[in-house]
Amino acid sequence: MVEAEKGALPPGAVIGMLGGGQLGRMSALAAAALGYRCHVYCPEPDSPAAQVTSRATVAPYDDETALAAFAEAVDVVTYEFENIPFATVEFLAPRVPLRPGPEVLRICQNRLREKDFCTAQEVPTTGYAAVASAEELGAAVAKLGRPCVLKTVQFGYDGKGQVLIGPNSDLDEVWAEVSGAADVGLIAEEFIDFRLEISVIVARGADGAREIFVPVENHHREHILDQTIVPARVSEKVSDKAEGIARHLAGALDLVGLVAIEMFVTRDDRVLVNEMAPRPHNSGHWTIDACTTSQFEQFIRAVAGLPLGSPERLANAVMQNLLGEEALGAQAALNDPRAKLHLYGKAEARPGRKMGHVTTIRPKE
Amino acid sequence: MVEAEKGALPPGAVIGMLGGGQLGRMSALAAAALGYRCHVYCPEPDSPAAQVTSRATVAPYDDETALAAFAEAVDVVTYEFENIPFATVEFLAPRVPLRPGPEVLRICQNRLREKDFCTAQEVPTTGYAAVASAEELGAAVAKLGRPCVLKTVQFGYDGKGQVLIGPNSDLDEVWAEVSGAADVGLIAEEFIDFRLEISVIVARGADGAREIFVPVENHHREHILDQTIVPARVSEKVSDKAEGIARHLAGALDLVGLVAIEMFVTRDDRVLVNEMAPRPHNSGHWTIDACTTSQFEQFIRAVAGLPLGSPERLANAVMQNLLGEEALGAQAALNDPRAKLHLYGKAEARPGRKMGHVTTIRPKE
């Protein structure tokens, strides 16, 4: 009915979303503002994302009948987390446009491929080595020094699947502990005594245009993001370096969508890529309340083939995650009139579960 | 599961929304951010509001079986337009909390009651007189002078149900034309050659706290809002007067919710109330993109018993409605990176129909 910009999905078109979590939920809200519909596909009923749209499929990621019907029912497919089975994406790719493309997902699903990609792009990362045997573990630790960290290359998030190798760790014991995960793949990484962890989110449109959000500072508790401070308290030089890396990687990935790049800032102001997520990111939630265009809207614009919006920051902000039972008293935050509460519609407040967040707006003036 | 602030609906609670238009849609999006669910009730299938929630009832407003089930399924009921049949509200009121309360709706549904209410509150309005007969029409025109305007007291919106009585209008002919609407009720109103039309939106929480958005300037085309300019280009004195009126009326109405008050600013800087709408208003759409708290979030906070948020303006803005076929090329607006496009999910671009809007952000600095 309504005409589309050249190459863009017309209003009323349906964006298929793999995954039903809070990132999908906030993306669906952004899609609705732009006049799109979301069709959520995930295995769990009444997921956070499915609550905010009239269209959802509840089915496993390997249900080819459900996937084929999903592909028929939507105009484009995207995903809200990178641990989607790659076979799901391979099944969908010939049937419906997928943004970001499968190759981006293949790289970002795997810490080793991610780091190899950065290295090929001459983007600095922490030192690392692939580990497939006890011998390779020994060689890796010899190369990287102690302490270092052993991680699964895939399906790790929020600190899951990590082992710290300390000065006295017995490598045979470590190997016995982790060798069961060797078929997923393992990577040893240099332990960085960094000054600050920051992240940069960059969007890249179908036309190749890139727009970047200001670098932010992330603080973790038990490996889970706790607080994001905006903007990051870094020098202009560090900020420029971080933005340069993010822009470059988005281009090199031939990304259509959004990528969040976590980086370490070392005590001597080097900037090292830690990991990449080709989707909206927890450290970008503040953009909903403090930017002209949010990360979720930017993501949907890219996926829909629309021009990107201005990422300018209208205010400073602090984003506080609400984990598990911290969410129980969340409404109390609203006693601060500049606190923006976001809850994800999750019924059960399991320990460490991301239930919501609060962004507190701090005027720039 | 999640505890609520004293008197507030807990996260996960269900807000029942009478009406499925764009105001309900944008309210539902704001409710989702706060962790609430919306259950939309309206006669039309696939309404703009129902598209953004997993819960909807499609039934006429006089279907008591459907209304009773709706009342059972929700924790509070609100409405997104004031032309809901009052009988619907009377049916629901004993069954489920209604915010704003029925009395607010009863007053604001009817231009005569609205003006009588303002007069009782010593708030200036345009001159007016009730008209129930040809004789009363003559008396009203004699009192108000020509030109004046004859309107139905109810169900008029966007200029529908209005007759201009000019210097040469034959009152017998006018009466013959309108007398069919006399059972709805008629009101004659002074014609104001105003300098500017402004509106002020004020929220009042369950605790009696009031928060007000800055007065804005409204420009109409064919009686339909075309453009809102933020802030209104008026003196501080006029602005203060307008805000004072709005605060006072919200209190006098014992409102829990949001009221938009349209006012005329005369050439000698008097401020006269034109009409009140006890719900989010087209002239407040800019708040989504330029305020710490949007009118929709403020509305939901009040209805849910949460503290109100800060209405501070982070940027200036111009809001342009997209009417009918104007929406066909709407995406072109996005070539301005500071343009925020909002489309309402309406399939058919009928003439004059509100299809969406574009808010252009203008930084304050």
Q: What is the pLDDT of residues A279-320, one digit of tens each?
A: 999 999 999 999 999 999 999 999 999 999 999 999 999 999
| Dihedral sign from CA coordinates of B362, A198, A229, A330 | positive
Mutation target to probe the A interface, by most A beta carbons within 10 A, among B22, B51, B325, B354 is B51
For the segment A65-73, the average pLDDT, to the nearest whole number, is 98
- B264-298 residue pLDDT tens: 999 999 999 999 999 999 999 999 999 999 999 99
For the segment A123-152, the average pLDDT, to the nearest whole number, is 95
Those residues whose C-beta lies under 8 Å from the C-beta of residue B264, and which sit 6 or more positions away, are B126, B192, B194, B196, B197, B198, B271, B272, B274
B35 contacts on A by Cβ (under 8 Å) = 330, 341-345, 356
A310 contacts on B by Cβ (under 8 Å) = 337-338, 361
For the segment A331-360, the average pLDDT, to the nearest whole number, is 96
- B9-20 residue pLDDT tens: 999 999 999 999
Work out how many CB contacts closer than 8 A connect A with B: 184
Residue of B249, B143, B122, B120 whose CA lies nearest to B189: B143
Verify whether the Cβ–Cβ distance A331 to B4 is below 8 Å: yes
Q: Is A209 on the interface with B (CB under 8 A)?
A: no
Q: Which two tokens stand for residue B11?
A: 């996260």
Nearest chain B residue to A365 by CA: give it: B365
- pLDDT of A117: 98
To the nearest whole Å, the CA of A205 is away from the closest chain B CA by 13
- B341-364 residue pLDDT tens: 999 999 999 999 999 999 999 988
**Beta bridge mates, A218:** A197, A228
For the segment B300-304, the average pLDDT, to the nearest whole number, is 98
Tell me what percent of the residues of chain A surpass a pLDDT of 90.
Answer: 88
Question: CA–CA separation, B251 vs A104, rounded Å?
Answer: 56
Instruction: Determine if the peptide bond prior to B231 is cis (ω within 30°).
Output: yes
Of residues B29, B310, B349, nearest to A1 (C-beta): B349
First to last CA, chain A: 44
For B:281-310, CB contacts with A below 8 A are: 288-290, 292-293, 301, 306-310
What mean pLDDT value characterizes chain B?
94
- pLDDT of A158: 60
To the nearest whole Å, the CA of A226 is away from the closest chain B CA by 19
Most confident of A171-175, B61-65, B347-351: B61-65
Q: Are A298 and A202 in contact (CB under 8 A)?
A: no
- pLDDT of B4: 60
How far is residue A142 CA from its own chain's centroid? 32
Q: Which two tokens stand for residue B90?
A: 């009377």
Verify whether the Cβ–Cβ distance B292 to A330 is below 8 Å: no
- pLDDT of B2: 45
Question: Is residue A3 pLDDT above 60, yes or no?
Answer: no
In chain B, what's the furthest Cα-to-Cα distance?
Answer: 68
Residue type for position A94: P
pLDDT band at residue A100 using 50, 70 and 90 as cut-offs? very high
Question: CA–CA separation, B186 vs B177, rounded Å?
Answer: 12
Verify whether the Cβ–Cβ distance A56 to B56 is below 8 Å: no
Verify whether the Cβ–Cβ distance A314 to B363 is below 8 Å: yes
State the pTM of this model.
0.94
Q: Give the containing element (helix H, strand E) for B95.
A: none
- pLDDT of A21: 98
Secondary structure tally for chain B: helices H, strands E: 10, 17
Residue A261 backbone dihedrals phi, psi, to 5 degrees: -120, 115
- pLDDT of B243: 98
Nearest chain A residue to B364 by CA: give it: A314
Q: Which two tokens stand for residue A36?
A: 């799109």
Mutation target to probe the A interface, by most A beta carbons within 10 A, among B2, B34, B46, B355 is B2
One-letter-per-residue 3-state SS of chain A? CCCCCCCCCCCCCEEEEECCCHHHHHHHHHHHHCCCEEEEEECCCCCCCHHHCCEEEECCCCCHHHHHHHHHHCCEEEECCCCCCHHHHHHHCCCCCECCCHHHHHHHCCHHHHHHHHHHCCCCECCEEEECCHHHHHHHHHHHCCCEEEEECCCCCCCCCEEEECCCCCHHHHHHHHHHHCCCCEEEEECCCCCEEEEEEEEECCCCCEEECCCEEEEEECCEEEEEEECCCCCHHHHHHHHHHHHHHHHHCCCCEEEEEEEEECCCCCEEEEEEECCCCHHHCCHHHHECCCHHHHHHHHHHCCCCCCCCECEEEEEEEEEHHHHHHHHHHHHCCCEEEEECCCCCCCCCCEEEEEEEEEECC
Q: Is B344 on the interface with A (CB under 8 A)?
A: yes
Half-sphere exposure of B268 (CA within 13 A, CB side): 1
- pLDDT of A5: 66
A288 contacts on B by Cβ (under 8 Å) = 33
- By the 10 Å C-beta count (0-12 exposed, 13-18 middle, 19+ buried), B158 is classed as middle
Q: Give the containing element (helix H, strand E) for B97.
A: none
For A:56-75, CB contacts with B below 8 A are: 56
To the nearest whole Å, the CA of B330 is away from the closest chain A CA by 8
Q: Is B337 on the interface with A (CB under 8 A)?
A: yes
Helix, strand or coil, per DSSP, at residue B288: helix
Of residues A25, A292, A334, nearest to B361 (C-beta): A292
Q: Tell me which of A351 and B2 has the higher pLDDT.
A: A351
Residue of A298, A252, A250 whose CA lies nearest to A278: A250
Q: Are A148 and A140 in contact (CB under 8 A)?
A: yes
Tell me what percent of the residues of chain A surpass a pLDDT of 70.
Answer: 97
Question: CA–CA separation, A124 vs B174, rounded Å?
Answer: 81
- A42-58 residue pLDDT tens: 999 999 999 999 999 99
Question: Is residue A365 pLDDT above 80, yes or no?
Answer: no
B56 contacts on A by Cβ (under 8 Å) = 54
Verify whether the Cβ–Cβ distance B292 to A34 is below 8 Å: no
Tell me what percent of the residues of chain B surpass a pLDDT of 90.
Answer: 88
Q: Which of B50-59, B61-70, B323-332 has the lowest mean pLDDT?
A: B323-332
- pLDDT of A178: 86
To the nearest whole Å, the CA of A145 is away from the closest chain B CA by 46
Question: CA–CA separation, A264 vs A271, rounded Å?
Answer: 6
Q: Are A323 and A298 in contact (CB under 8 A)?
A: no
A314 contacts on B by Cβ (under 8 Å) = 290, 314-315, 361, 363
Verify whether the Cβ–Cβ distance B32 to A51 is below 8 Å: yes
A53 contacts on B by Cβ (under 8 Å) = 51-54
Nearest chain B residue to A326 by CA: give it: B2
Nearest chain B residue to A36 by CA: give it: B345
Question: Is residue B339 pLDDT above 70, yes or no?
Answer: yes
B25 contacts on A by Cβ (under 8 Å) = 32
Q: Is B33 on the interface with A (CB under 8 A)?
A: yes
Question: CA–CA separation, B153 vs B138, rounded Å?
Answer: 18
A340 contacts on B by Cβ (under 8 Å) = 33, 292-293, 309
Q: Is A329 on the interface with B (CB under 8 A)?
A: yes
Question: CA–CA separation, B112 vs B114, rounded Å?
Answer: 5
Question: CA–CA separation, B46 vs B49, rounded Å?
Answer: 8
- pLDDT of A1: 39
pLDDT band at residue B60 using 50, 70 and 90 as cut-offs? very high
- B179-211 residue pLDDT tens: 888 788 899 999 998 999 999 999 999 999 999
Question: CA–CA separation, B311 vs A104, rounded Å?
Answer: 41
Angle, CA A255 vertex, CA A233 and CA A130 arms, to 5°: 75
Helix, strand or coil, per DSSP, at residue B353: coil
